[in-house]
Amino acid sequence: MLRVVEAMTPEPLRVEPWVSVREASRFMAKHRVGSLVVVEDGQVLGVVTSRDLRGAHPNRLVVDVLKGPPVTISPEASLLEAKSLMEAKGLERLLVMQDGELLGILTKGALAFALGQHFDPLTGLPRADLLRHHLENLLAQGKDPTLLFVDLDDFGRLNKENGHPFGDRVLKTLGQRLKSFAQYLGGEAYRYGGDEFALVFPHPRQALLPALPSLLRPLEVEGKRVDFSVGVAGGRRRPGRMPANPSATADDLLKLASLASTHAKRQGSGWAPAEALKAEEGAPEGVSSPKEPQSAGKGNRRAARGRGGRRSGGRGSGPTDP
């Protein structure tokens, strides 16, 4: 359920603006609803809620307590768009309209219920289906999104040594950092599955790379250091070129970014661009694309490990801590 039309209440109850507050309140109570759409001669004027009516004199008219013009949304808009609009406007309801015709109403409660199955309860982040939806929408608009794929290092070992409750706290801590990082730079963070996350930005890659050092700082969870690796794909071509198949292109981006994160983990470099995969096929290990800042080399995480394989130094020769 990703579109507004699938979560809205169709044919909401209506009231004329010249009805008294008393009559409108009785009408709401009779039908057990919390709002009425105010319509005059087929024109939608707005929404009046039970809260609006409770604070008004019973003899006043509905038009007197009506607040501002209606805020509307298309039935084909995504539920995430509806969520963002509600939050930005501080609203609990949106009128669903198309070509001037009232089709339904979307409440905050209905939106939360519809989105609940698409969000991860542990981290609060949207799941992989919303990630794909977002990627495909950006590609269909002719944008070239930058995708960051994030994978925790040695997560299986962490779970075995410290228990699954500790692993859950690691996932929540990483999820919070990724969400803050994404929001600060105008992107979205997602829980892809297991110990994997993804971030999507509608910006060129070069606009994001300078900020990677702040993202790549090791996590500190209950006094234990936890590292993760990042793969970067997309965000390199000129905007405006629409792919023939946005769904297939989204698949490619996810595959490349995932493989790049595995490459970064194997190199101990912290992060790697997808182009490093091609360079790896025909170049010595650790050599990355000349078009991107080097992501593996001297001073990387592998070089910082002791004989026992445990890390004792910094993140690597990818972006370093400021």
Please indicate, yes or no, if residue 321 is contained in any of the structural domains. no
Please indicate, yes or no, if residue 315 is contained in any of the structural domains. no
Please indicate, yes or no, if residue 295 is contained in any of the structural domains. yes
Please indicate, yes or no, if residue 256 is contained in any of the structural domains. yes
Q: Where would I find the beta strands (DSSP E) of the chain?
A: 9-10, 14-15, 35-40, 43-49, 72-73, 93-98, 101-107, 146-152, 188-193, 196-201, 219-221, 224-226, 228-234, 271-273
Please indicate, yes or no, if residue 317 is contained in any of the structural domains. no
273 and 153 share one domain: yes
Q: What is the pLDDT of residue 2?
A: 74
Q: What range does the domain containing 272 cover? A: 128-304
285 and 156 share one domain: yes
222 and 152 share one domain: yes
271 and 180 share one domain: yes
Of 116, 140, 161, the last residue of a domain is 116
Q: What is the value of pTM for the model shown?
A: 0.67
105 and 195 share one domain: no
155 and 286 share one domain: yes
Q: Span 117-135, mean pLDDT?
A: 90
Of 84, 116, 148, the last residue of a domain is 116
Please indicate, yes or no, if residue 230 is contained in any of the structural domains. yes
112 and 208 share one domain: no
Count of domains observed in the chain? 2
In the chain, % of residues over pLDDT 70: 84
- Residue pair 149/202 in contact by the 8 Å Cβ criterion: no
Of 83, 116, 149, the last residue of a domain is 116
Separation CA 289–CA 110 (nearest Å): 48
139 and 276 share one domain: yes
8 and 79 share one domain: yes
Question: Half-sphere exposure of residue 307, counting CA atoms within 13 Å on the CB side?
Answer: 0
Please indicate, yes or no, if residue 121 is contained in any of the structural domains. no
Q: pLDDT band at residue 286, thresholds of 50, 70 and 90? A: very low
What CATH number corresponds to the domain at position 17? 3.10.580.10
198 and 228 share one domain: yes
What CATH number corresponds to the domain at position 166? 3.30.70.270
- pLDDT > 70? residue 161: yes
Please indicate, yes or no, if residue 192 is contained in any of the structural domains. yes
Q: pLDDT band at residue 311, thresholds of 50, 70 and 90? A: very low
